[in-house]
Amino acid sequence: MTVQNIQSFVAGRWVDAGAQAREVKSAINGQVIGLAGGDLDVEAMLAHARTKGGPALRKMTFHQRAKMLKALALYLNERKGALYDISFATGATATDHMIDVDGGIGTMFVYASKGRVELPDDTILLDGEIERFGKGGTFVGQHVYTSLQGVAVHINAFNFPVWGMLEKLAPSLIAGVPSIVKPATATCQVTESCVRMMIESGLLPDGALQLVTGGLGDTLDRLAAQDVVSFTGSADTALKLRSNPNILRNSVRFSAEQDSLNASILGPDVQVGSEEFDLFIKEVHREMTVKAGQKCTAVRRIITPEGLVQPVIEALSARLAKTTIGAPKVEGVRMGAVVSGDQREDVLAKAAIIATEAERVYGGQDALQVVGADAEAGAFVNPTLFHCADPDTAVKLHETEAFGPVSTIMPYRDLGHAIELANRGGGSLVASVITRDGAVAREVVQEAGAWHGRLYFNNAESMKDSTGHGSPMPHMVHGGPGRAGGGEELGGIRGVKHFMQRTAVQGSANLITAVGKRWVTGATEITKDTHPFTRKWGELELGETFNSPLRTITMDDIEHFAQFTGDTFYAHMDEDAAKRNPFFPDRVAHGYLLLSFAAGLFVEPNEGPVLANTGLENLAFQKPVTAGEAIKVRLTVKGKHPRNAEYAEVRWNVTITNQDDEQVAEYDLLTMVAH
């Protein structure tokens, strides 16, 4: 068998495994299949990211980075078959490949979409609304996010060599921060293949992505305040890394997503034979066997009503007995091996610890049967199910995780007891509850939410669309408190902000308008001879303003609007009732009548560049208007956002005031305008 030279990609070139290279072995037969790592020029690697990759990415807008990420995802998607093929040696089945490879590529697509939709076509991201510090409105504040000017070091676990990398790479690229990827040695050949594809695509700026397949050397000792470390793996390794004196001294951002004792609770309302009971068994079985139980989100503790322990044991054991274990390429195999012989020994050692407080009710190595491979030479572990009759007195059970196909059933007396057991894990990435009862769901959220990064509820109503207990989605945060690491990954744009700095910017309304490219009330208003609706997107300026004439609101207007729309609410129609209302002095005009008249006051009716009104946001009414009063409108260009080659979005600030210049209402109007 040819031994692969698993290279690193450092400072723009591929580097062979050196004298200190580490062996990579097949999980199926234990043979050496590759050599990884070796000599590493850390200073050159960091300098390349900081002086080449970072500046290049920061010159790109969020939209440009998002387009680049989408193109990269499409490129990988066309070549994912090669990643499937190389993954078999890690012990993963075809289904496991899809979770890892397709899941990672899917995460890139999600971030590419969110980058285009939720972020501006700019390099600065505004955070929240303007803060005003004085009555005059001339001095204001705005929180902003800007790209960190360092490098993101991603240290990943062995179980997801593709998804684990791409889930961190996607948000860091959108944020404009270059990355150094460090996969676990046991599966680094898969990561190397994926990185090679991305580099060969030519889509990434030089220095945006580097790869270390061996040890990081003294990289952590050389990081500075603008750098980030993102880690996935064991709590022990996370503690060692985050305790690095240089990391502490320079306040280097450190985020950990650690293996945890995740739990699944069978709700007290569920009965044997119900759809929910079958769903619970299916979910637990999947989490025990997918990736041979090597998922940071896998179910380790199965929390069951006292009266249903035996039915759960029987149903889960029957399902496990039908799971064929063996070489992943063999037809019919549903579970492969753990990634290495060392990992197998670690799983068995942890299972032995659990056995001191629980009874084995299914599995064990003595019952292992393997198809298409040698059970001794390969890193195969038989799914093993334990039962702990007294989880209250158990200690090791709530502290020990066998990172493989090993789970423990434990009974609970009532929902409060179930929550207590789930929380005894000391913090987890996810806890799931199978229930139809909304009161159960609320109590779990209230009492368990503080201990779990994600709470997953499922039942017959949602099971067809549900994503699964063990599947973190890129739209929502992935992490957890305590034992789970205390960090967060993913979470949509929240994940992007992890690689950015939030800064409070204070200054005049004009300066803050220039910084954020969003017009701020109090900044200069530009008045031109022609209506702004007659100018194309590229011709409009921030602050460009149209002021309408006054229009008087009559009682006939109010009554006609009420009859025409059917809105005959008493405040508009009944004088006595309106006066009894503490908010109104008399019969008042409908809020939507004011909006309609406002549109009539500011609109330019002739055909022109304005193509469509796509909505309004942040609507607020400040003062009622009665018959005999008048209103006028100020329409100001607040923001400009490109959409495609034909048209772009203009955000207008609209304020309605009365005849005494008192503000009646305010909102943002969104329109699509031709280029």
Q: Is 241 left (phi over 0), alpha (psi -120 to 50) or beta?
A: alpha
Alpha helices in 483-617 (DSSP H): 493-497, 509-516, 555-565, 570-573, 575-580, 591-602
Residues in the chain: 675
Among residues 527, 547, 422, 534, the alpha carbon closest in space to that of 481 is found at: 422
* Alpha-carbon gap, residue 163 to 98, rounded angstroms: 10
The answer to whether the CB of 639 falls within 8 A of the CB of 650 is: yes
Catalytic status, residue 257: yes
Between strands 179-182 and 209-211, the pairing is: parallel
E-assigned strands of 12-69? 13-15, 22-25, 32-36
Token readout for 154 is: 């991603």
**Catalytic-role residue among 188, 194, 296, 388:** 296
E-assigned strands of 299-435? 299-305, 359-362, 384-387, 406-412, 431-434
Among residues 365, 360, 367, 364, the alpha carbon closest in space to that of 397 is found at: 360
Token readout for 353 is: 């610890």
* Alpha-carbon gap, residue 359 to 386, rounded angstroms: 5
Using a 10 angstrom Cβ sphere, with 0-12 exposed, 13-18 middle and 19 or more buried, the burial of residue 195 is buried
Partners of 655 in beta bridges: 634, 666
* Alpha-carbon gap, residue 315 to 336, rounded angstroms: 22
Cα 89 to its chain centre, rounded Å, is 30
Cα dist. 78→197, 232, 482 in Å?
11, 27, 40
Torsion angle (degrees, nearest 10) of CA 239, 388, 451, 353: 0
Partners of 146 in beta bridges: 501
**Catalytic-role residue among 167, 192, 257, 488:** 257
* Alpha-carbon gap, residue 20 to 13, rounded angstroms: 19
* Alpha-carbon gap, residue 449 to 453, rounded angstroms: 7
Cα dist. 336→85, 92, 95, 162 in Å?
14, 6, 10, 18
H helix count then E strand count, the chain: 21, 28
Phi, psi of 592 (to 5 degrees): -75, -25
Catalytic status, residue 296: yes
Three-state DSSP class for residue 393: coil
* Alpha-carbon gap, residue 421 to 413, rounded angstroms: 11
Active site residues: 257, 296
